[in-house]
Amino acid sequence: MKKSNGLLTILLFVVGTGAIPFGQYAVMAQDSNYANTPDEIFPYGNFQAPFYNHFDERLPYLGAAREYETPSDVEKVKIGFIGPLEGAGEYYTMYARQMLQGTRLALEEANEQGGLNGIPFELITRNDVGLWGASGNELVTLDDEGAIAVIGSIDGNNTHIAIRVALKLEIPVVNTGSTDPTLTETRIPWLIRTNSDDRQFNYALLNEIYNRRGYTRVAVIRANSRYARVGTKEFIAGATRLGHPVIRQMVYLPGETDFRDLLERIKAADVEAVLVWGQVDEAARIVKQMREMNMQQTVFGSERLVSDRFLELAGESAEGVVATYPYNPHAGNPELERFRQKYMERFGHEPDNQAVQAYDGTRILIEAIREAGLNRALIRDELTSIENYEGIAGEIQMDGSWNNVSQVWLAEIRDGTFEFWPYRWEYLSDN
């Protein structure tokens, strides 16, 4: 595991009888804005430099858990998994099962390699349903059963609750599924996120829509959900900072099937492009109904559109749709191809990005446990010392809030298939 090598140590704290390891309280050496935000859309960037960059500082853990005695009679190293495996709707269940299978495959491989000094890893699963507080309760049960760390989850609301409970339990959490950008901004030093978030996806969409394609009149149609509201937040703010505020924003209830009234209002606004943010079935219906209404605007969307399901449901109407994605599945990476083949043999279907990112996140956790042993705080120290990690889908680059800010991709549907290219911000002066 590659550790941080760009840290400026501030000081060494002493708590009780233990000292904070060197570099745990540190500020990331900066050569870019927070979250790799482009200068053109950096908040207040045209007016004043910030007095203090809050999220650039990696917070220390100042508790006593490093001094806890390591158990000597462990027969299995228990890893917790929390995700919406049932009762949360078709979409989330589908994503959670992929995430679970990617996690399971990584642990199976680790056991084939001897586990932890001959002790096998064991996966304990818990269902992350949509009931308020349920995810926190499930995390407590994982703690009661002796889980040393947790992988999860996908839904932003439930994950926010779970990580606050993790803070009280002092248990490391590796998030591999939620794209909510605000998770790591809670400053909870027991959480890292290894998957790409919606902030990075929004930057890629802003660049493609405004800088590369030159559109100025854009509408947003999104679901009335936290996923879609938080998911489009940076896009709407960034469009305003680029001087082209979103012309119209329409909101629909999850599960709706007829979007014609909302689309009529967008059509009347004479826009050039439409950003769609919701579940894959809804997005497919929106695109089909747009084309039936002779609306030929370019459609953009989130990573959930990059799926065979979207291609099937949208049919010919999908042609020309552009969406974001965390990596390029067609890059020819031998490690990614090895994983794909093994995943298909094990589970009988193609892995999606939830499976790929869960596999990488679980491997990171396994390496941290092997390095630190069975002390949660020392595992946390290993996880939060990561700056770069080479995963099967590409480099994972962690910022000062332990959030993955690595490069994301865009994909356009051409002749019924997705064609990928990497996002790179193109300043207006470049064009």
- pLDDT for res 135: 81
Structure tokens at 133: 């507080």
Could you tell me how many residues make up the chain? 431
Q: How far is residue 421's CA from residue 68's CA, in Å, rounded to a whole number?
A: 48
What burial letters (b/e) apply to 277-308, b meaning 16+ CB within 10 Å? bbbbbbbbbbbbbbbeeebebbbbbbbbbbbe
What is the tens place of the pLDDT at every residue in 197-241?
999 999 999 999 999 999 999 999 999 999 999 999 999 999 999
Strand 191-193 and strand 173-175: pairing?
A: parallel
- pLDDT for res 18: 38
What is the tens place of the pLDDT at every residue in 342-372?
999 999 999 999 999 999 999 999 999 999 9
pLDDT band at 50 (very low <50, low <70, confident <90, very high): confident
What is the tens place of the pLDDT at every residue in 232-267?
999 999 999 999 999 999 999 999 999 999 999 999
pLDDT band at 73 (very low <50, low <70, confident <90, very high): confident
- pLDDT for res 376: 96
Handedness of CA 261, 263, 266, 267 (dihedral sign): negative
Phi and psi dihedrals of 248, rounded to 5? -150, 135
- CATH 3.40.50.2300 positions along the chain are 75-195+332-377, 199-325+409-430
Cβ neighbourhood burial of 161 (10 Å; 0-12, 13-18, 19+)? buried
- pLDDT for res 128: 86
75-195+332-377: CATH superfamily = Response regulator (3.40.50.2300)
Q: How far is residue 150's CA from residue 362's CA, in Å, rounded to a whole number?
A: 9
Task: Name the least confident of 22-26, 42-46, 291-295, 320-324.
Answer: 22-26
Q: How far is residue 346's CA from residue 114's CA, in Å, rounded to a whole number?
A: 20
What is the tens place of the pLDDT at every residue in 82-125?
999 987 778 889 999 999 999 999 999 999 999 999 999 999 99
- pLDDT for res 197: 96
This prediction has a pTM of: 0.91
Residue type, 61: Y
What is the tens place of the pLDDT at every residue in 291-343?
999 999 999 999 999 999 999 999 999 999 999 999 999 988 999 999 999 99
The radius of gyration computed from the CA coordinates of the chain, to the nearest angstrom, equals 22
CATH T-level topology, domain 199-325+409-430: Rossmann fold (3.40.50)
